[in-house]
A and B are shown apart, each in its own frame.
Chain A
Amino acid sequence: MGTKYVVLVLTIASIALMMFIPKAYWFLSYGSILALIGSALAFGSVSALVAARGLYFLAHVTPHAALLAIPLAFLASLWLGGGHGLIAALVTVGLLLAAGYAIGRGVSGDVAASLLASFTASASAIILYEAQRRLGAARVSSLILGDPLLVGLSEGVIGLALGLTVFLISLSVAREVFYIGLSRELAAVEGLKVEVYDFTLYTLIALTTVTMLGIVGFLVASILILLPGAIASIFSRGSIETLTASVAIALAASAAGLTGGLALNISPSGAIGLTLVVLYAILKVVKVG
């Protein structure tokens, strides 16, 4: 019961704090705040599922795939016309599903993730170089560093809607995903369609990363997809409590990181990441101690 109260208070306090920030900083829009809330909802949810399945390495590699897919989609839309969002999403989901398929066929998760990282990092170097020439360094830099302060209201609303969707889907599959995390083979024997849950999880990881990369950036996306779930796993009991605690932690880190980043005049994305690292270290020490 204690954890549930902490989660509730943390969530309300974080959202209230973030909604207050634009009143203190004239240059900050509500679009940025909504996008950050959406990012916390999505990353917090997916992070809990990643922790339950022990897919840390694969999740950590996903921003590499998105970092390849987004500039590739920008270039493709320059040449072919049309929007880049769908192309980027399809490429990222396709790469993750390929790695997931390999894991499902018995390839070690670490080996599949290593191959994905090697391929996407190499291809990204080529594509980012081309994208920098054609689109400008600022656009490439924002992908890597992230800039939540530049998000407009309509993008913020879309970000929030995406975050809520990922949260609700994650909530609906959490019990089974946590169960599969104990033994995929056994879950399959008991009649669970593990391939469907694998597909859902890999798609959620890919879509969350590719849609939120522009908000938090490549560097911090790697942290947000790993640490909220890992932190929640230290003290939570049960799948739903772990998932909601993970979301609350992502929200709190976003609120604290944004406030701290603005106050200290440092990158808000970096401050969000550092907040999570410090929180993880403190809770681990407390738990072990």
Chain B
Amino acid sequence: MDSAQQHANTINVRVESVHVNYGPVKALEDVSLELKSPGIVQVLGPNGAGKSTLFKVIAGIIKPSTGKVYVNGVEVTGSPEVAGRFIAYMPQSNEPPKWSTLTVWEYVETAASIKTLKWPRIKPSKVKSIVENCLNTVGLPESLWRARLSELSGGNYQRANLARTLIGGAPVILLDEPLASVDPEGRVSLAGTLASLARGKLIVVSSHDPHPLLEHTKLIILLNKKLIAMGDPDSVLRAYTPQTLYSYWVAEHGH
């Protein structure tokens, strides 16, 4: 069991007064929140609300203009290497890349090699069991392991991405719109997979639609550049319907 896994039951992510600007455009304004494992947290908001930016700030990829991010008291602000000890991040990716010849197996195996072997990484057989575990955990059929990523359906591509994210056993997983471009049947199945993973981890999911994961969600965050609301699903969704949230966004942006 690595050090990251030992923290699995006590992980705590704290975002303090984060502001992010893209030139003159404000992406996040004074966002503060605290998340604790285990369980699923959903971050909801319209396009441009700053969901992806918030994830990148937590993963250390974007350094905020002001504000700090801590994981279990360790500052990870703007430092993906430090954040990577606790956090795995799956960016938004709606469809498989058509140009790439990488297979599902090589995709996950390369991620495992990067995390577990030193260059020139000439013995990828060492990571075979890790790769098999991750692919089995996300429920990707073995018949697809040798398929090119470009040959996968949207749902199975997200499963391959999720398998890659699980490499290293990080206790916090950030999933940026993992159910986008997945068919309804695939959403139900993928939601079940995420729910079983959330028993021992903190899984933060961004979405436009909370329903596929609603019954497994312990906390909902409404974001629209600022933190609009945060709380258990019942209270938040009763107070803020999608219509009120989107009308707030329209009022802010004028279109």
A residues with a Cβ closer than 8 A to B are 51-52, 54, 172, 175-176, 178-179, 181-183, 185-192, 232-233, 236-239, 241-242
Tell me if B91 counts as interface (CB < 8 A to partner A).
yes
- Ordered by A's residue number, 8 sampled pairs between the chains whose C-beta atoms are within 8 Å are A52-B99, A178-B102, A189-B59, A191-B115, A232-B101, A233-B101, A237-B103, A238-B106
Once the chains are docked, how many angstroms separate the CA of A209 from the CA of B84? Answer: 38
Once the chains are docked, how many angstroms separate the CA of A89 from the CA of B149? Answer: 37
Excluding A175-B121, A192-B114, 8 further A-B contacts by CB distance (< 8 Å) are A172-B120, A179-B102, A179-B114, A182-B100, A190-B115, A191-B81, A191-B115, A238-B101
What is the minimal beta-carbon distance from B150 to any residue of chain A, in angstroms? 10
**Do A178 and B89 touch (CB < 8 A)?**
no
Q: A233-B99, A236-B101, A237-B101 are in contact. Are A179 and B120 (CB under 8 A)?
A: no
Contacts of A190 in B (CB 8 A): 84, 111, 114-115
Once the chains are docked, how many angstroms separate the CA of A254 from the CA of B58? Answer: 52
Contact partner, A185, options B61, B106, B111, B146, Cβ 8 Å: B61
Tell me if B97 counts as interface (CB < 8 A to partner A).
yes
Tell me if B113 counts as interface (CB < 8 A to partner A).
yes
Once the chains are docked, how many angstroms separate the CA of A186 from the CA of B114? Answer: 12
Once the chains are docked, how many angstroms separate the CA of A276 from the CA of B106? Answer: 28
What is the minimal beta-carbon distance from A92 to any residue of chain B, in angstroms? 26
Interface string of B74-115 (1 = CB under 8 A from A): 000000110010000101010001011111001100110111
Contacts of A242 in B (CB 8 A): 101
**Do A237 and B80 touch (CB < 8 A)?**
no
What is the minimal beta-carbon distance from B168 to any residue of chain A, in angstroms? 8
What is the minimal beta-carbon distance from B252 to any residue of chain A, in angstroms? 28
Tell me if B148 counts as interface (CB < 8 A to partner A).
yes
Contacts of B101 in A (CB 8 A): 52, 178, 232-233, 236-239, 241-242
Contacts of B106 in A (CB 8 A): 175, 178, 238-239
Residue of A nearest to B122 (CB): A172
Contacts of A54 in B (CB 8 A): 99
Contacts of B61 in A (CB 8 A): 185, 189
Once the chains are docked, how many angstroms separate the CA of A183 from the CA of B81? Answer: 17
Contacts of A187 in B (CB 8 A): 114
Contacts of A51 in B (CB 8 A): 99
Most buried by A among B60, B89, B91, B99: B99
Contacts of A192 in B (CB 8 A): 114
Residue of B nearest to A175 (CB): B110
Q: A175-B106, A189-B61, A239-B106 are in contact. Are A182 and B97 (CB under 8 A)?
A: yes
What is the minimal beta-carbon distance from A34 to any residue of chain B, in angstroms? 28
Q: A189-B61, A237-B148 are in contact. Are A52 and B89 (CB under 8 A)?
A: no
Contacts of B149 in A (CB 8 A): 182
**Do B107 and A182 touch (CB < 8 A)?**
yes
Q: A175-B113, A190-B84, A238-B106 are in contact. Are A181 and B91 (CB under 8 A)?
A: no
What is the minimal beta-carbon distance from A235 to any residue of chain B, in angstroms? 9
Contacts of B103 in A (CB 8 A): 237-238
What is the minimal beta-carbon distance from B186 to any residue of chain A, in angstroms? 21
Once the chains are docked, how many angstroms separate the CA of A175 from the CA of B102? Answer: 9
Once the chains are docked, how many angstroms separate the CA of A106 from the CA of B122? Answer: 32
Residue of B nearest to A193 (CB): B119
Contacts of A52 in B (CB 8 A): 99-101
Contact partner, A182, options B81, B102, B114, B146, Cβ 8 Å: B102
What is the minimal beta-carbon distance from B36 to any residue of chain A, in angstroms? 23
Once the chains are docked, how many angstroms separate the CA of A146 from the CA of B61? Answer: 47
Contact partner, A178, options B81, B100, B111, Cβ 8 Å: B100
Once the chains are docked, how many angstroms separate the CA of A239 from the CA of B105? Answer: 11
Q: A51-B99, A52-B101 are in contact. Are A183 and B110 (CB under 8 A)?
A: no
Contacts of A185 in B (CB 8 A): 61, 91
Contact partner, A186, options B60, B91, B97, B102, Cβ 8 Å: B91
Contacts of B100 in A (CB 8 A): 52, 178, 181-182
Interface string of B49-69 (1 = CB under 8 A from A): 000000000011100000000
Most buried by B among A176, A232, A237: A237
Contacts of A238 in B (CB 8 A): 101-103, 106
Once the chains are docked, how many angstroms separate the CA of A187 from the CA of B113? Answer: 12
What is the minimal beta-carbon distance from A258 to any residue of chain B, in angstroms? 28
